[in-house]
Structure 1
């Protein structure tokens, strides 16, 4: 492995069917005023809301709520949450929902006591926190983002058509996360498969960088093989506990910074995908699936040995008698076949992208330099055009 690095992950995970039973012991570590953040109301239909409220009340907590956190949390929603958190001087933010709710909770945690506009400070300028940070915990109901075990937080500014992610340091990581795979069973199939590809994309973005013999790559290959295997089972039987539990566990390890160690990492698919999301407000995982085939075909010649390894190690491509180019191309074909098998969105037109949006999306895509090739604006446009 190349380079020097440090590693820590302060998030404590409780995993399994009885994971929620551990919430009281975590609540005891914090003060009495809790902000409960959740989404559009599905947790009320499933009974999870009542269960969590009951646990909070039994623990003697005074509960304040921010309901209606949307799939792509907006800056206006951030401001509203900051007001509730600050005015009530909350001691803990408990996010109950998917990755967007956890992202939102982290954004509120760093922004509530910010003495200037948090969008400008933390998202437009990507500065680090220098103010009080409210601790965050989560009860996860959807897998994909890995937000339950990292410092990332993505917020959308619809007025400026920007969707920006800030990866904060360990002080913003959730302090604990409750992971019960059964809580993910009620997620619609569309959201389930979108989350699965979000997991795959997280791993790919870290895997396709560097050319040294890196332990992180071997870990990534194992995670990808597990994800492909379990996703095929879940696509047929969404309530297969073993498959859904493996997907949930893979999601957490895909983006908790472990497999990024010793890597430069890419992230261009996410940058373009987020720019698409800013224009269309569509499901994040589907923005990634729509552009990934075109992006990786463009980048493949610049990182050919790793793409050939990806084909053999993840997709069991037989490289005998084939060039690296042929092996690598076959690997990408296998990945695309798997994506179609799951029913993922494979073009940006299906997401509502129109020709008049292409230039704006290209301009809104941050250019990253950690992968095998640094894209220029014309190449970003080419990826978008090839993804129509």
Structure 2
């Protein structure tokens, strides 16, 4: 393991079919005022809203609701939520939903008592919080983002054509997260598949960096192999609890910072995907699946050893009698075949991205240098072309 690092994750996770029952214990640790944050009507249709609200009332909490969080939360919605939380004098923000809802809740947590515009301070200037932060708890209903156990918050500014993630410190990580894989059964099939690739690519972004024999890479390979297997089962039978529970737990560990330790991290697929999302409002996991193969083919020559290892260790490609490049390309081909098998988007045109918007994607893409090759703007423009 190269470099120095500190690992600390303050989130307490309750996992399993009866995990929601643990909410009562968690609520006893916070004050009277709770803001309940959720998205559309799915938690009401599933009965989860009534269950949670009943527990909040039984605990004697004053509840203010902040619903309607969209799949790509906007800067305007963040400002609205900060105002709601501040006026409610919130002691706890309880996010019930998927990654967008939890990301939004974390954004609200650092913004409610901020004396400046939160978009400017946290997402444009990328400053650290220097004000009171409201604790966040979460009940997860969709797997993929890992937002339930990290400090990241992605917010979109449609007016500027930007979608930006800010990874805050441990103070913004949810204090507790409740993961009942059965709750993910209510997620539409398209969203389930998107979440699977989102989690897979989180691991890839950390895996495809560095040249040393890193413990994190061995963990990442195991997580990716398990996710490949579980995804096949879940796509065939979305109500298979074993597969959905594996997907839920892998998604959490894919981005709770554990497998990133000792790694530089790439994250360029996410930068391009987020830029496409800012332009099209497409589902995040599908923006990643549309560009990842083209991106990895482009950087493969600069990290050939790791791509060979990815092929042999994750996909079981045999290396005898083959060049490194042949092995590496077979690995990427195996990944693409699996992506087609689980039905994720493979072409940017299927996201609604038109050629005349490619320049907008380039402008909205942040160029990072943690991977094997730092892209130029010209490289970024070619990624959608190769993914058409």
TM tier, shorter chain? Answer: over 0.9
State the distance in 2 between where 1:122 and 1:387 align: 32
Q: Answer yes or no: is 1:144 the counterpart of 2:147.
A: no
State the distance in 2 between where 1:247 and 1:304 align: 29
How far apart are 1:367 and its partner, in Å?
A: 0.5
State the distance in 1 between where 2:211 and 2:249 align: 27
Counterpart of 1:216 in structure 2 is 216
- 1:27-74 superposed Cα distances (whole Å, 9 cap, x missing partner): 010000000000111000000000000000000000000111000001
Q: Answer yes or no: is 1:385 the counterpart of 2:385.
A: yes
Which blocks of at least 5 consecutive residues in structure 1 are unaligned?
none
In the TM superposition, what are the counterparts of 1:232-243 in structure 2 within 5 Å? 232-243=232-243
Counterpart of 1:345 in structure 2 is 345
Counterpart of 1:334 in structure 2 is 334
SS at match of 1:165: strand
Runs of 4+ in 1 over 3 A off after TM superposition: none
- 1:302-331 superposed Cα distances (whole Å, 9 cap, x missing partner): 000000000000000011111110000000
Counterpart of 2:269 in structure 1 is 269
SS at match of 2:6: coil
In the TM superposition, what are the counterparts of 1:126-141 in structure 2 within 5 Å? 126-141=126-141
Counterpart of 1:5 in structure 2 is 5
Aligned length: 388
State the distance in 2 between where 1:15 and 1:319 align: 40
SS at match of 2:143: coil
State the distance in 2 between where 1:189 and 1:300 align: 32
Which blocks of at least 5 consecutive residues in structure 2 are unaligned?
none
Counterpart of 2:155 in structure 1 is 155
Could you state the TM-score of these two structures normalised by the residue count of structure 1? Answer: 1.00
In the TM superposition, what are the counterparts of 1:78-89 in structure 2 within 5 Å? 78-89=78-89
State the distance in 2 between where 1:384 and 1:129 align: 35
SS at match of 2:63: strand
State the distance in 2 between where 1:6 and 1:119 align: 28
In the TM superposition, what are the counterparts of 1:101-250 in structure 2 within 5 Å? 101-250=101-250
For the aligned residue pairs, the C-alpha RMSD in angstroms reads 0.4
- 1:353-372 superposed Cα distances (whole Å, 9 cap, x missing partner): 11111011011100010000
Could you state the TM-score of these two structures normalised by the residue count of structure 2? Answer: 1.00
- 1:209-231 superposed Cα distances (whole Å, 9 cap, x missing partner): 00001000000000000000000
How far apart are 1:88 and its partner, in Å?
A: 1.3
SS at match of 2:259: helix
